[in-house]
Amino acid sequence: MTSSRPSARALAYQILDRTEAAQSYANLTLNAYLNRSSLPPLEKKLCTRLVYGVIEKKICLDWRISKLASRPIESLDAECRILLRLGLYQLLFMDKIPAHAAVNETVALASKKKKGLINAILRSQMRLADKADEWLAREDPMTRLSVRTNLPVPLLELLQKTYRDEELLDMARAFDEDPGLTLRIQTEKTDPASYLEQLKNAGLKAEPCPHSSCGIKVEQTNPAALPGFEDGYFFVQDEASQLCVEAVGAKRGMYVIDTCACPGSKSFGMALCMENTGTVLSMDLHENKLSLVKDGALRLGLNCLQIRAHDGRKPDPTLKGCADRVLCDVPCSGFGILSKKPEIRHKDVKECGNLPSIQLQILEAGATYVKPGGSLVYSTCTVLPRENQEVVEAFLKRHSEFSPEPFTVGGLSSDERGMLQLLPHIHHTDGFFLAKLTRTI
């Protein structure tokens, strides 16, 4: 592929090509490419939308390409697949881009031998746009739902055990929305109202979070470019995660353990709840990732964190019964953060089959650290009951020393079992689960 000049589309192609080849998360590649790029801000914004949009709508785009090309998309090489997705995404989902510009700019990126094919297929879309409903009507019900939701059939079959088709559609639409950025304000350095004013003065669209008193939603941008980043005025944290921290209920002088801490936002939030007193022990299996926690704590000016590597599945006998609060934010399938990491929707659901046993191990190990009268919070960023309610229920059957602790955070209340499932189409947060338990003995 060649390009006569750098452009948002050319950069989007490179990022999508690199991401697909490496089977990696696009956000890391996108940030790296944008940081090295000399594109003006509006072009960077276009590039970002193209990258995430193509990944989010990949199932719908590939289905249409197969119909327009009259052959399976797998029969096309990587260059054709990615450029056709880019062009088709602009034609279908970007009203402000004229159709001729979407086609011509995409074809211009193609290598000489591929220009004719890409041009023909994209122009077929312009000619046959009204045929899509007719084509879709001929598909089987599950394929139709997959194309409408941009969720693969195996994931749909898994979600349908809990969510009806219309609710799946609502959830999928929420996953396709631009998530923007959600910030948690470092309240020892500034306050939400003052920082919101700073953002607006910088020309950014921003508003307070509806449920978290310390949260601000701002349009998608590079966090490091926001005012006050170097001074530690904020850190990135979804509102659901902020509510999880609130549920923990950490207070001044407490000893708190975060068993799976990376990248650190919940540890930072709990430290702020404790007014930077007491101790937050931030542990994680991957020592190389703990630098994120160390660097973040330093930038934010939080010195009550102790950081060390530890396998959360294995109880540390030296910590037995020492903690006022324990948070187990366990590794999960991630099927609640598809708007932030759209690649997750294409994950093989079979790879998630062993997660509940790992999650239960971590929860049981974390439980050993809780002192009598202390609290244990379990959380995930998924919407699957087998990783959420069922794990907590299995734990309670084996541990009579713990009982559910109903709670209310940000005006949202758990059920009587101390469990709260947040859903993107209802609460406008990540898909997130939390449960709170108290050690009674």
Partner residues linked to 309 by β-bridges: 284
Retrieve residue 383's tokens.
């919407």
Report the amino acid identity of residue 107.
Answer: V
DSSP codes, 2-64: --SS--HHHHHHHHHHHHHHHT--HHHHHHHHHHH----HHHHHHHHHHHHHHHHTHHHHHHH
Instruction: Give the list of residues 6+ apart from residue 96 with CB closer than 8 angstroms, or none.
Output: none
- Residue 271: which of 287, 292, 295, 255 has the closest Cα? 255
SS3 state at 329: strand
Interhelix angle 115-128/99-109, nearest 10 degrees: 160
Tell me, rounded to whole angstroms, the distance of Cα 412 from its chain centroid: 21
Interhelix angle 265-273/239-248, nearest 10 degrees: 50
Retrieve residue 91's tokens.
């034609």
Retrieve residue 291's tokens.
């630098």
- Residue 11: which of 58, 74, 73, 54 has the closest Cα? 54
Residues 195, 160 contacting (CB under 8 angstroms): no
Number of H helices, E strands in the chain: 18, 14
Secondary structure element (H or E) that encloses residue 29, with its range: helix 26-36
- Residue 341: which of 419, 281, 430, 257 has the closest Cα? 430
For the chain, the C-alpha Rg in angstroms (whole number) is 23
- For the stretch 124-130, contacts whose Cβ atoms lie closer than 8 Å and that sit 24 or more positions apart, written own/partner, are 124/68, 125/64, 125/68, 125/88, 125/91, 125/92, 126/91, 126/99, 128/68, 129/91
- Sign of the C-alpha dihedral computed for residues 51, 102, 134 and 67 taken in this order: negative
- Residue 289: which of 303, 275, 302, 308 has the closest Cα? 308
CA 367-371-373 angle, to 5 degrees, is 105
CB atoms within 10 A of CB 49: 18
Retrieve residue 419's tokens.
């469990």
* Residue 381 appears among annotated catalytic residues: yes
Which of 80, 209, 332, 381 does the annotation list as catalytic?
381
Catalytically active residues, by annotation = 381
